[in-house]
Amino acid sequence: MVRGALLAALAACGSSTSLPVDARCNPLGAGACLAPWPSSAFEVDDPATVTGRRLAIPEDAIPRGVRAEAIDPRLWNALDGFSPTSPIVVEFPGGVSDLGLPAADNMDPSLARDSPTVILDLTTTQRVAHWAELGDDDTTLVLHPAARLELGHRYAVAITSRVVASDGSDLPISPGFRALLSDRRTDHALLEAMRGRIDEVFDAFDEAGVTEDLVLAWDFTVASEASLHADLVTARERVIETLATHPSLFKVTETETAQVRTLTGTLDAPLALSNGGEPRVNTRLVRDEAGQPAIQGLYRVPFAAVIPKCATARAPVVLWGHAPFRDGSDTLGVEATQLASALCAVLVGLELRGRSSSDVPAVERAIADLGNAGELDVIVQGVVDHATLIRALPAILGATPTQIFYAGPSAAIAALPELARAAIVDPVEPRSLFVPAFQAYTPIDAVIVRALVESRWDRVQPTALPHPVLVQARAGETTSWLARTFALPLVDPASTPWGVRTVRAPHTGSGVVLDLRLATLREFFTSGQIASGPPM
């Protein structure tokens, strides 16, 4: 039994029911209010949801940052579970050692029976590959699942006695977890609400072969697809309905060189944002009485297109996605122009609201004060703007494209059903851009705040990619995670990440001088696959 050896030691503990943890905080923790995170301590039963659960983060539990008053948790509590991409975070105030923890470059040990940390999918009874690291100080332990967790599933986490304190001694067991191990009742309402679930967690770890004593264990529920994607699905439906009766008008200015024609202009897109869609303070999704995104008329969205002289009237189109927190002017860059000429295809792009240069101030406001996190939901508008652009292409170009591809960093745009193929290019997370905004928090609260911020963007991330996709990227955690999540190949990574398939970049044949990056995109969009080339 995973708790058997501890029960005798705990039997001598007193019978006091007082738990030294604030009533609004996670009763299994011993420091930061929300840790361990995510946790069923912040869930309640709700038979009206797909998962049968709903988030219930208490008032004044979310870290305040620079805010003086409590932060309203309703933005997150509307969901029927936690984000599938959230890291798992726990705090040991006396310090924890990273000795023996599963590593990012080899997660096999995390699946072994003697792994010091365990993530168990209670829905499938399977262990979850992960890696672990310390946060910015040695009191914070962070577990990173190898890929996105399954929507609607319930998970359990175990920190076993194989994890030790920073000085090599045994880690302390929190008072709340001691109370669960010894079946001692407490005065903490959140702990007592968890009590009925913890025996299922213990039994699951027993059946999974976890034989080490538990220092800490808990469970949590991941949100369902219906809950997570409700805003995006509704916004898309209402945009398409609006365009059926109000076709998108556009204005274009054209310039020409010996090689290409360049179009710059604006198109009218259905708007679901306040403040006329302007990127300023408190611009967010407007909702109807049912809480669903509501169209507020039309607004003008800038776009740009590059048309090489070799492109025919029915040439394919490539949506060119800009780098995170930049803008649609990337469409007019050298690389985009070279790809357009190599494919004899039209390249067209626009700003992805929510992840553009104009959104940087909103992200900084949200990090410093999570009361502003509703401003992050403008990314829903950014995704549906691309659906508007696709529907306007026949009118803008004067012909219906034979195929539409995507090349860029956004998995949300890569999942648009109108696409034939997509290449996720350099999906890096420019986290260094926002480091100053996190300085208002303790190291563990900074990890949780980042998870709360990124969970707003997760709500547009797809559950699957409906057409051929590859990842062409620089090495990094984000690219490896995407490749594992969607079972995508990486093209010529600097090293082979754990659990990822790689392919070789093609030759630059046909007498066309291209670098390997452009040659890869050309071959993929032409044939739908990448043929293995010779060793580099």
Beta bridge mates, 491: 503
Characterize 140-164 residue by residue with b for buried, 16 or more Cβ atoms within 10 angstroms of its Cβ, and e for exposed. bbbbbbbbbbbbbbbbbbbbbbbbb
- Please check whether residue 284 is in contact with residue 375, taking contact to mean a CB–CB distance below 8 angstroms: yes
**193: which strand partners?**
none
Q: Within a 10 A sphere around the Cβ of 296, how many other Cβ atoms?
A: 16
Dihedral angle over CA of 510, 513, 516, 519, nearest 10: -50
Q: Token digits for 140?
A: 């914070």
The pTM is what?
0.93
Task: Name the phi and psi angles at 488, rounded to 5.
Answer: -105, 150
pLDDT given at position 222: 98
pLDDT at 534: 35
Interacting residues of 12 by C-beta distance below 8 A, sequence separation 6+: none
CB distance 417 to 466 below 8 Å:
yes
Q: How many CB atoms lie within 10 A of CB 329?
A: 14
Contact partners, residue 500, CB within 8 Å, separation at least 6: 480, 483, 484, 489, 490, 493
Closest CA to 202 of 216, 192, 220: 216
- SS3 state of residue 376: helix
**Residue ranges of the chain with per-residue pLDDT less than 70:** 1-16, 474-475, 507-515, 531-536
Please give the pLDDT value at position 469. Answer: 93
Beta-bridged to residue 348, according to DSSP, are 305, 319
The closest alpha carbon to 348, from 309, 380, 322, belongs to 322
Spatial distance between the Cα atoms of 9 and 181, rounded to a whole number of angstroms: 10
Please classify residue 223 by burial: count the beta carbons closer than 10 Å to its beta carbon, then call 0-12 exposed, 13-18 middle and 19+ buried: buried
Cα 380 to its chain centre, rounded Å, is 14
Measured from the Cβ of residue 4, the count of other Cβ atoms closer than 10 Å reads 12
Calpha distance 298→267 (Å, rounded): 9
The DSSP result for 430-489, as a single string, is -GGGGGGGGGGS-HHHHHHHHHHHHHHHHTT--S---S-EEEE--SSHHHHHHHHHHT-P
pLDDT at 478: 86
> CA-CA distance, 197 to 220, in Å (whole number)?
10
Contacts of 262 (CB under 8 A, 6+ apart): 254, 255, 256, 304, 305, 306, 307, 332
Buried b (16+ CB within 10 A) or exposed e, 96-118: bbeeebbeeeebebbbeeebbbb
Round the CA-based radius of gyration of the chain to a whole number and report it. 25
Measured distance CA(499)–CA(502) in Å, rounded: 10
Distances (CA, A) of 347 to 150, 268, 312, 412, 423: 35, 19, 13, 19, 14
Kindly give the interhelix angle for 334-343 and 516-527, rounded to the nearest 10 degrees.
40
Per-residue model confidence as pLDDT tens digits over 502-528: 888 776 554 444 467 788 888 899 888
| Bridge partners (DSSP) listed for residue 502 | 490
Q: Token digits for 191? A: 């702990």
Q: Is there a contact between 119 and 141 (Cβ–Cβ < 8 Å)?
A: no
Structure tokens that stand for 347 in this block: 């390249």
Q: How far apart are CA 394 and CA 402, in angstroms?
A: 10
- Structure tokens of 393? 């292409």
